[in-house]
Chain A
Amino acid sequence: MNVSEIKKDFPILKREVNGKLLTYLDSGATSQKPNLVIDAMSDIYKENNANVHRGTYVLSAETTQKYENVRNIFKDFINANSSDEIIFTKGCTEGFNFLANSLTKNLESGDEIILSEIEHHANLIPWQMAAKKHNLKINFVKIDKNFNLDMSHFDSLLSEKTKIVSIVGESNISGMLTEIKNMSELIKSKSNAYFIVDGAQLVPHRKVDVQKLGIDFLCVSGHKMLGPTGIGVVWGKKEILESMEPVYGGGDMIEEVFYESATWAPIPHKFEAGTPPYVEAIGLGFAVEYLNNLTMEAVEEHSNSLRDYAKSKLENVEGLNIIHSSSDIAGCTFAMSIDGVHSSDMSIMLDTHGVAVRSGHHCVQPFHRKLDLDSTFRATGYIYNDERDFDILATAIEDCVGLLK
């Protein structure tokens, strides 16, 4: 993959910060956007904009067509069976809230949910809320000393009581890649549980085939994969989605409405109340096109080789503790700490080098607590990052440690 050519497609990467050319290593929080996406959204507002689904004039028909076509684009992108299985959401957080509300409605007291110790708060809090409401038990798969999921522990947690398993596909802390296929086979052999994968970090970086993986649901955030904010996708198996109750009520999700009651539109629209973020959805469609042009195979290969380079580079920085999966293949995500240096000081000082990294608990507070760390600073690489970006990071860390110790 030609990263220097790719960089040219992202206008923000030409920016200087504190007198230095921006080194953006925070794509785990949000990715930057290529001109293709920015221009497409701007064009919609200039050329087509009209509310979707309800107009009988040209503009509305054009916008509706472009918007609905994104379901087809996304269907192909993750190899779903049908575009009806693509539900638009605001992002992963809304996706999990929707699933946690809808899937737990008919569960019984004492039924069990399995999450892992390293879940993002988006895949934790909605389940905590649902568990409280329906008196459900949440079990947490342990993370081993190599920052990977303990699969034998997972096996031991599974039983007929397990109704939902919701696990991160690629960790936003350790870069860990979950053995999704193995998990799905284990789940099927020991329970009738639904298997949900948090694809927030996985889908931007790797080819995901929902049918091959044997999962039931996938949550995706558009803004982490070159798309705009405020748009995401929940993919679910058609037969399960059809059996589910909507969580949000309002316009566009109904078939017939009476004063006392209403009937629901077919999937996917029964889950999408109100005016959808159609411009954002169209932007997401172009983001997928951009990735498809690179091919997800190339995107994945780039992530793997950049991860190998970054790992070896960062391992040579004296005093740097790296929280990163020990597996041969993992995401290009590195949470780091240095004894005696606060991560917020580090990220502020790195900013003076033009290096953008995040500090804090990255929405995974319980796992930081388990490691006895208040916070870490985190660097994540994406398609527009190259080896030089990690060279700059490593040198900048060394420089900043000198000032902060």
Chain B
Amino acid sequence: MSIQEKIDNYKKTLSLFPNPQEKYQYLIEQAKFNDDFPENLKIDEFKVNGCQSQVWLVPEEQDSKLYFKSDSDALIAKGLVTLISSIYSGETANDIVNSEADLMEEFELGVILSPARRNGAFSMLKKIKDFASGLTD
């Protein structure tokens, strides 16, 4: 599935929840499924700056594709980073760098995805793209 197809899938799922509280509850559920992040990777190198809570994103390269593990000490941020990680996992560095999807626009997640430069989702996405661009020519 391409990055855009994965985004479209999540968009469809999120649109099933008409009010913000239900959308956040969906994110919280996603966060609760993501429970295998190794404690020893909670180091500064993998920290996403610019989030209100602590967020970690760890890239791994396998067969020329990138995979992301993620965690956060806040549930909604963790749900969000879990979603973003799954969208970009299994993709090549080039595809990630060239993807122009605007998650802020697509997901309509109210305050947590407001299009402000200093918000958490922006920083998560930037961290993923920075990892990827370090691997492209």
A374 and B28 contact, Cβ closer than 8 Å, known pairs A344-B77, A351-B111 = no
Contact partner of B19 among A342, A345, A352, A374, CB < 8 A? Answer: A352
Say yes or no: B54 contacts A345, CB within 8 Å.
no
A359 CB–B CB distance under 8 Å? yes
Say yes or no: A404 contacts B75, CB within 8 Å.
yes
Say yes or no: B111 contacts A345, CB within 8 Å.
no
Say yes or no: A349 contacts B24, CB within 8 Å.
yes
Residues of B83-129 contacting chain A, CB below 8 A: 110-112
Collect the chain A residues with CB atoms within 8 Å of residue B75's CB.
342, 345, 404
Say yes or no: B52 contacts A349, CB within 8 Å.
no
Say yes or no: B25 contacts A345, CB within 8 Å.
no
Say yes or no: A342 contacts B53, CB within 8 Å.
yes
Give complex CA distance A375, B72 in Å. Answer: 14
Collect the chain B residues with CB atoms within 8 Å of residue A345's CB.
28, 53, 74-77
Say yes or no: A342 contacts B21, CB within 8 Å.
no
Collect the chain A residues with CB atoms within 8 Å of residue B73's CB.
342, 374
Say yes or no: B19 contacts A344, CB within 8 Å.
no
Collect the chain A residues with CB atoms within 8 Å of residue B77's CB.
342, 344-345
A348 CB–B CB distance under 8 Å? yes
**CB of B132 to closest CB in A, whole Å:** 27
Interface range on chain A: under 10, 10 to 19, 20 to 34, or 35 or more? 10 to 19
Give complex CA distance A11, B74 in Å. Answer: 34
Say yes or no: B24 contacts A342, CB within 8 Å.
no
Contact partner of B52 among A18, A360, A403, A404, CB < 8 A? Answer: A360
Give complex CA distance A19, B19 in Å. Answer: 9
**CB of A160 to closest CB in B, whole Å:** 43
Contact partner of B28 among A351, A359, A375, A404, CB < 8 A? Answer: A404
Chain B 43-61: CB-based contact to A (< 8 A → 1; otherwise 0):
0000000001110000000
Give complex CA distance A92, B52 in Å. Answer: 24
Give complex CA distance A17, B53 in Å. Answer: 24
Collect the chain A residues with CB atoms within 8 Å of residue B19's CB.
18-19, 352
Say yes or no: B74 contacts A342, CB within 8 Å.
yes
Contact partner of B20 among A18, A375, A403, A404, CB < 8 A? Answer: A18
Say yes or no: B28 contacts A348, CB within 8 Å.
no
Give complex CA distance A400, B56 in Å. Answer: 25
**In the complex, which of the residues A342, A351, A374, A403 has the most CB atoms of chain B within 10 Å of its own CB atom?**
A342
The closest CB in chain A to the CB of B20 belongs to A352
Say yes or no: B52 contacts A359, CB within 8 Å.
yes
Chain B 15-27: CB-based contact to A (< 8 A → 1; otherwise 0):
0000111001100
The closest CB in chain A to the CB of B79 belongs to A345
**In the complex, which of the residues A352, A374, A404 has the most CB atoms of chain B within 10 Å of its own CB atom?**
A352
Give complex CA distance A349, B77 in Å. Answer: 12
**Closest 6 pairs (CB-CB, A-B):** A342-B74, A352-B21, A344-B52, A344-B74, A352-B20, A344-B53
Seed contacts A344-B53, A359-B52, A374-B73; 14 additional CB < 8 Å A-B pairs: A342-B53, A344-B74, A345-B74, A348-B112, A351-B20, A351-B110, A351-B111, A352-B19, A352-B20, A352-B21, A375-B52, A375-B53, A403-B21, A404-B75
Which A residues contact B (CB, under 8 angstroms)?
Answer: 18-19, 342, 344-345, 348-349, 351-352, 359-360, 374-375, 403-404
CB-defined A-B contacts under 8 Å, sample of 27: A18-B19, A18-B21, A18-B110, A19-B19, A342-B53, A342-B74, A342-B75, A342-B77, A344-B53, A345-B53, A345-B74, A345-B75, A345-B77, A348-B112, A349-B24, A351-B110, A352-B20, A352-B24, A360-B52, A374-B53, A375-B52, A375-B53, A403-B21, A403-B25, A403-B28, A404-B28, A404-B75
